[in-house]
Amino acid sequence: MSIRARLHPLGYIHRGDLVDAGWSADRIRRAVSEEGLLLLRRKWVVDPDADAAIRAAASRGARLTCVSAAAVRNVWVSDEPSGPHLWLPPHASASVEGLRVHRARPIVPAHPRSLVEPIENVLAAIAVCQPLDHARAAWESTVARGIATPEHLAAVTWPGTRARALSAEVEDLSDSGVETIGVARLRRAGVPVRQQVRLAGHDVDGLVGTHLVLQFDGLSFHQAAERRRDLAHDRTLRLLGCTVFRYDYFETVHVAEKMEREVLDAMAQGLHLAPLRAASASGHGSRRLLG
């Protein structure tokens, strides 16, 4: 079997793993050359096409952490990191130009043959490095992807106040990071949002009162079939007298004040209430049923 066939899905293998499998030093050197691989710091065999963050970690005796480690695990992060976020030992002398360096004491010991920090260390770094709502979105994404559970996160002894607060608040309801951020910001503005309420056969991201439905769309576009299903469900909800507000990533993350104002205005008009209740509360005999 070639070295390339043995590589981690992220495109690397520790030289010690090859030695343990019976590879001699000469055989490793020949295979690295013949297969067009890189040997970094004399111990990491890396595919030259591997993610730049992986190559940066291997060449500096570091490990991926924070949003860089989250991204390679397909955990939700708000934006692409501007440069690799790497954990380095406190007294490491590696060049750090163009890097975001983390040197916190690990919560969990990292495997010496891994280039990615354990998830607990990753989340602790995110808690202090990222805006609070973005950090919570990443934490809840680890739960949504089955990487961690709320119970485990609540039981970890976290080193900082922000991580401890997040561990107590993290839920398993959000389908996406943008949903976590949208719900958190609306609740902070005083909007009583309930998540994942089933209406007309499908769960909605957020529900205010009984009739104001909030849907949050992430960075990537839905597949055409999924998008058609979502829009058809929106129409069904409108026919049932609901008002449906759908927000995308930019509206939720970068212009949240506008989203908050629109939802509060809708509540002021009674759009979160059943049509007859809203009409009675406003003193009018009727109200249009379509939002």
> Tens of pLDDT along 6-40?
999 999 999 999 999 999 999 999 999 999 999 99
> With bands split at pLDDT 50, 70 and 90, how would you rate the model's confidence at 230?
confident
Is the CA virtual torsion 186, 190, 196, 200 positive or negative?
Answer: negative
- Encode pLDDT of 59-117 as tens digits: 999 999 999 999 999 999 976 557 899 999 877 766 677 789 999 999 999 999 999 99
Please provide the DSSP assignment of 150-192 as one string.
Answer: HHHHHHS--SSHHHHHHHHH--S--SSHHHHHHHHHHHHTT--
**CA max distance for the chain:** 88
Is 131 in a helix, a strand, or coil? coil
CA 27 vs CA 6, 22, 38, 177, 251: distances in Å: 14, 10, 14, 46, 55
The CATH code of domain 177-282 reads: 3.40.960.10
Q: Mean pLDDT score of the chain, rounded to an integer?
A: 90
- pLDDT above 60 (res 222): no
Q: Give the domain ranges of the chain.
A: 1-49, 51-169, 177-282
- Band (289; pLDDT cuts 50, 70, 90): very low
- Beta partners for residue 199, in sequence order: 202
Which residues face 101 on adjacent strands? 86
What's residue 183's pLDDT?
96
Query: Two tokens at 202?
Result: 């499908």
What pLDDT is stored for residue 285 in this prediction? 43
pLDDT exceeds 80 at position 237: yes
Q: What is the pLDDT of residues 164-187, one digit of tens each?
A: 999 999 999 998 999 999 999 999
Of 233, 119, 121, 255, the residue nearest 178 (C-alpha): 255
Confidence bin at 275 (pLDDT 50/70/90): confident
Question: Range with the lowest mean pLDDT among 78-92, 113-127, 230-244, 263-277?
Answer: 78-92
Residue 287 has pLDDT above 80, yes or no: no
State yes or no: pLDDT of 288 exceeds 80: no
Percent of the chain with pLDDT strictly greater than 70: 90
State yes or no: pLDDT of 281 exceeds 80.
no
Average pLDDT of span 143-158: 96
> Which band of pLDDT confidence, cut at 50, 70 and 90, is reported for residue 291?
very low
